[in-house]
Amino acid sequence: MPEGSFRSALPVDIQVDWRRVLRLAGRAAAVAAAIPVTAGAAVMAIDKVRGQRHPLDAHFPTARPSTTDVEGSDATLYTFGADLYEDMIEAIESAEDTVMLESYIWKGDRTGERFKQAIADACARGVQVYVVYDGFANLVVPPSFFVFPPQVHVLRFPAFRAGLMTLNIRHSGRDHRKILVVDDRVAFVGGYNIGDLYATQWRDTHLRIEGPAVWELRNAFVDFWNRWRGPRHPVLQDKGAEHWQPALRAARNAPSDLVFPIRGIYLDAIDRATSHIYITQAYFIPDRDILQALLAAAARGVDVRVLVPERSNHALADWLARGRYTKLLRGGVRIMLYQGAMVHAKTATIDGRWATVGTANIDRLSLTGNYEINLDIVDRGLAARLEDVFRMDESNSRELTYEEWLGRSFVNKVAERVLEPLEPLL
């Protein structure tokens, strides 16, 4: 048979219209993609209505700020936003040389205005002020709010980046970090954004550092600023560290360079666990390696507990997190559901020896997508204080049992499967 004559040799009734096949395949793919997207939109719409009827505004237990010495640096732990904001503003108001402030979300409300005024006043005193905020996270904030005195150096991380449509992490990650460094003598880092809501209605965790370890956060700010500054922005000078403190180090994710140490410190610490692992997360969607590490720890007798909001401010994240619950509960991991309010902390303690506090959630966006920063801490004193905070949060939680989870409705089980393809977005 001559080359290329196979199709014409087929009987008429079985000849294939390849263009029609491709059109049908394309339509099928579009429908397959539309199903989870439509379901996700429906989930978020329903949750918005539910949130209006049942807001996450219940009172919750908090603790007064407490300070621990970590190898010559003071680490102060905050669990209530109003306490944190007072000390952050006080630090800015006492600044003599430099203020470096980086925030993922900075609301244009009363709290946001207080920070803005403190920044303007510092600038008027001759303090060199550097501000970084994420353009996408603040699209709902009036642009006029981010107009500062001309002496303030402002870096707006671009709202829309080239890799967004193709999910290219090197060119799409957000600046999810929250850092304040004043005069190289005091620094703050943790989960708190800036706004009225976070001051009193969200349970979050932040650390203030005073002493040699401030360098860790200053260096993180300087490196990010110099990496993303424009021609009109001054270069910030790197300062070497006079003191090396292996007990308190900053791990910094940089997706533009495919550098993701925060995921690594979690995996390393979990693998070392022999007694207990206490994790608090706003959005808990562990990847395969972290999931298997937690299950392996539970299998060797480690008490593994994960505390998350029963209902967070992101319904889609909640549904995707539930896709992990069957394996976790069946494997002996205990899941504690925070009640009535949003817990936004990103913390963990292991064996009363290791701890982390920072900005990264245990999900794809934080661990391999966004610019994040977590402190990697090996110190029994600070770990003990964080364990006290975990127990405080447990007092406002209920435990989800395996039996209860198996009894969830058939509709919920189907929804978990339908929404699963959206996981790469979170």
Q: Which residues of 193-217 are buried (b: 16+ CB within 10 A; e: fewer)?
A: bbbbbbbebbbbbbbbbebbbbbbb
Task: Please tell me the distance from the alpha carbon of residue 36 to that of residue 56, in angstroms, as a whole number.
Answer: 26
Query: Is residue 93, in this structure, part of any structural domain at all?
Result: yes
> Domain boundary residue among 177, 210, 243?
243
Residue 408 pLDDT: 84
Asked whether residue 321 falls in the same domain as residue 288, the answer is yes
Supply the pLDDT for residue 3.
47
On whether residue 191 sits in a domain, the answer given is: yes
* Amino acid, res. 384: A
Domain co-membership, 211 together with 322: no
Residue 9 covered by a domain: no
Residue 167, pLDDT > 90, answer no
Tell me if 300 sits within 8 A of 307, measured CB to CB.
Answer: no
Instruction: Say what the pLDDT of residue 265 is.
Output: 98
| pTM reported for the whole predicted model | 0.87
Q: What is the pLDDT of residues 402-415, one digit of tens each?
A: 999 999 876 666 66
Indicate if the pLDDT at residue 29 is higher than 70.
no
Is residue 393 domain-resident? Answer: yes
- Last residue within a domain, chosen from 243, 273, 299: 243
Within-domain flag for 248: no
Do residues 351 and 272 lie in contact, with contact meaning Cβ atoms separated by under 8 Å?
Answer: yes
CATH of the domain at 403: 3.30.870.10
Torsion angle of alpha carbons 182, 193, 69, 65, nearest 10°?
Answer: 110
- Confidence at residue 317, expressed as pLDDT on a 0 to 100 scale: 86
Question: HSE on the CB side for 410, CA within 13 Å?
Answer: 0
- Residue 7 within a domain: no
Q: How confident is the model at residue 40 (pLDDT cuts 50, 70, 90)?
A: very low
> Are the CB atoms for 187 and 180 separated by under 8 Å?
yes
**What residue numbers bound the domain in which 191 lies?**
66-243
Q: Is 66 in contact with 389 (CB distance < 8 Å)?
A: no
Query: Residues 171, 265: one domain?
Result: no
Number of structural domains (the chain) is 3
The continuous run of DSSP H or E covering 374 comes out as strand 372-378
Q: What pLDDT was estimated at residue 160? A: 87
Name the strand (E) or helix (H) holding 311.
none
217 and 320 share a domain? Answer: no
Average per-residue pLDDT in the chain? 89
pLDDT band at 181 (very low <50, low <70, confident <90, very high): very high
- Please give the span between the terminal C-alpha atoms of the chain, in angstroms, as a whole number: 54
Pairing of strands 342-343, 397-400: unpaired
* Residue-wise pLDDT tens digits, 385-395: 999 999 999 99
Specify the pLDDT at position 344. 98
**Domain end point (choices 218, 243, 268):** 243
More confident residue, 199 or 245: 199
Asked if the structure places residue 374 within a domain, the reply is yes
Q: What are phi and psi of 225, to 5 degrees?
A: -60, -50
Report which of residues 356 and 54 the model is more confident about: 356
- For tokens 């706004």, what's the residue? 195
Contact 39, 415 (CB under 8 A): yes
Same structural domain, 202 and 309: no
User: Does 114 share its domain with 218?
Assistant: yes
pLDDT of 282 higher than 60: yes
Same domain, 47 and 153: no
- 220 and 323 part of one domain: no
Residue 181: name the closest of 70, 98, 65 by CA. Answer: 98
The pLDDT tens digits for 332-389 are: 999 999 999 999 999 999 999 999 999 999 999 899 999 999 999 999 999 999 999 9
Instruction: Tell me, yes or no, whether 27 and 96 share the same domain.
Output: no
Q: Quick one: 288 and 161 in the same domain?
A: no
Q: 284 and 409: one domain?
A: yes
Say which residues have a Cβ less than 8 Å from residue 122's Cβ, sequence separation at least 6. Answer: 92, 93, 95, 99, 129
Same domain, 267 and 338: yes
Q: Is the predicted pLDDT of residue 423 greater than 70, yes or no? A: no
Task: Classify residue 102: in a domain, yes or no.
Answer: yes
Percent of the chain with pLDDT over 70: 82
